[in-house]
Structure 1
């Protein structure tokens, strides 16, 4: 039977698009269900401020009368303006193990992007590098941490068989707290203290009761610190406010650290509890009627965390601030009973950051891949 590709137009089709994530992955080893309401918000073009400068077209694949796959084609004008290119993106890919279905989905996304004068199709982006991105290619034997992707192990073959090729890999490092503490040597602490004293750096934790002020500082640091990174797109005010509203529910202010040089904010790090420990117990992704209780009562029992971002203004990136943040975060996490953490994601060619992480005894245990497909 031929594969039918259907653009999502109705509420019923949108629901089918959402449902496919659960239908395809419910038997995928170590997959953790996201919350359905959060997935719906992520794709809501009226509520998610990403779509103020972006466009998305969602496609469903149907074969033998059944929905068997999905993909989204995405344009991101802020990316194109910042990088001076004409890239388009694909994301939210789910598919049965059928190359014909996968090819039909990628072809639909490619044609939609070509019609909008894009010359390269890059992904997966769900929907951008400021959200979940990358296809898991190594590390299928363990569940993902919060806000990291996970997929069936046959996906890489489906993706590459269509003609997608690697453009960049992303690293995820695993670090047991006990190992990290053992690698904080007296020498390393002396060096960190000297760096802090020499440059008069001042550190403090964030204050969530003054969230608007803190978010303004973090946005200024982030958009400067990451501006030279591959794939970076600056946050708009609306986007970072939207993200902050989501993370506020789980952020531990003791693990959101800021650094200053005088009164100038120069660096920050954000570590969040790995709520996937709880979401793994809500396999259908629905908070009601019982999922909400698992979430509320499980928050204080979480034993792992993810270092989600560490940003240092470019002017100060050569001064070793990263190690100071890691030392402080590790000590604080240990006091809170955190037994292990993930540091992710890190670009494969970010040698300084990967070396610093490895120095604490971290294991490179997952690898994610971003692909490209020329549309010329």
Structure 2
């Protein structure tokens, strides 16, 4: 196809090229936050990557006239497919020059890879991770993404949809809340929280870092029960959750990781983590030794944004005000620690609760992402 060939990644040099290809796409984009290369290298390594405990993946580079022009990954998540009764082929690490013919060639190659394994749909983009930098950015190019959110060129949406991909579910949304307790929305939030607190039913506590494994167990249960109602929900494996949270164990402020309890049982969870993308945007993916010096320097600074990546409440406690209580407490603590705004991401349009709660608190929608599916 127009001199385009799709070749698997086999050598160490090709693996390095696969990982660094995004710099060719985004080098002049001030909103792009480069991924950390050591983490990405670990993720695609079958010996070290968590994904390979439950599936297989293959990585490809698109070439034209001896030059790399795109990358894509095709993967089979056997454990998730079996659990959900599907035959999906996950695609990810999709990067492409602004030429639809290149995207078309890569999509066709992924479709052939899937057919050889009796898979019946392409699903993504996910970079071997259902929570980190997934989907295609549809709206919101006025500021860099918060941690665990991605950034893609405007033309990616057209490439996916021209090939025939359809939205797999409701879009995923990112909201911003300015930490200003003088606004009408903030005053209303604190009044509601005071009423809930006065009932004496719920206790809010911070994370207990001395009992990390037990906290992971609670989070794992809350994730899989609280989100089970969502269409296309992919249940979490405990090992994958623990691996994702482990890097934050040393940097998270336990006073900003909140649990709501009833009689000692965790019924809600609201984690706030520093928006490390305010650091990572300056360190060029740790491609060079001197980037570690920049990492040390910028890690000394207080981020302006506290990222709230999940709002979990057990279904039997919906409508009780516990989420309002959690948000009010988080806002109070974050403002006292010097944060300027909260990022709430990502929440699904299919979630009947979180978008409504965010808007009632005065949050502004600032990014929209889309995950696609193509039946084969």
Common fold by TM > 0.5: yes
1:152-171 equivalence runs, <5 A:
152-168=153-169, 169-171=171-173
1:1-376 equivalence runs, <5 A:
1-168=2-169, 169-178=171-180, 182-185=184-187, 188-198=189-199, 200-283=201-284, 285-286=285-286, 288-299=288-299, 300-375=301-376
Measured in 1, the distance between the counterparts of 2:184 and 2:307 equals 19
Contact 1:179/1:361 (8 A) holds in 2: no
- Shift, 1:182, TM fit: 4.9
Contact 1:129/1:231 (8 A) holds in 2: no
Contact 1:181/1:331 (8 A) holds in 2: no
- Shift, 1:287, TM fit: 6.4
Cα 1:21–1:321 change in 2 (3 A) is same
**Cα-to-partner distance string for 1:199-241 (whole Å, 9 max, x where unaligned):** 6211100022332222122112222112222333232232122
Measured in 2, the distance between the counterparts of 1:295 and 1:183 equals 37
Contact 2:133/2:149 (8 A) holds in 1: yes
Instruction: Tell me which moved more, 190-199 or 262-271.
Output: 190-199
**Cα-to-partner distance string for 1:352-374 (whole Å, 9 max, x where unaligned):** 21011011111111111111111
Unaligned 5+ runs, structure 1: none
- Shift, 1:181, TM fit: 5.9
Measured in 1, the distance between the counterparts of 2:283 and 2:252 equals 21
**Cα-to-partner distance string for 1:150-209 (whole Å, 9 max, x where unaligned):** 011211112222221222311111121126865222x54343233345462111000223
Instruction: Tell me which moved more, 227-236 or 302-311.
Output: 227-236
Cα 1:45–1:228 change in 2 (3 A) is farther
- The number of aligned residues is 373
SS in 1 for 2:235: coil
Contact 2:177/2:342 (8 A) holds in 1: yes
Measured in 2, the distance between the counterparts of 1:294 and 1:325 equals 35
Cα 1:198–1:89 change in 2 (3 A) is same
SS in 2 for 1:125: coil
Cα 1:89–1:190 change in 2 (3 A) is same
- Shift, 1:63, TM fit: 0.4
Q: TM-score, normalised by structure 2?
A: 0.93
Cα 1:364–1:180 change in 2 (3 A) is farther
Q: TM-score, normalised by structure 1?
A: 0.93
Measured in 1, the distance between the counterparts of 2:288 and 2:184 equals 43
Measured in 2, the distance between the counterparts of 1:335 and 1:305 equals 12
Contact 1:180/1:330 (8 A) holds in 2: no
Unaligned 5+ runs, structure 2: none
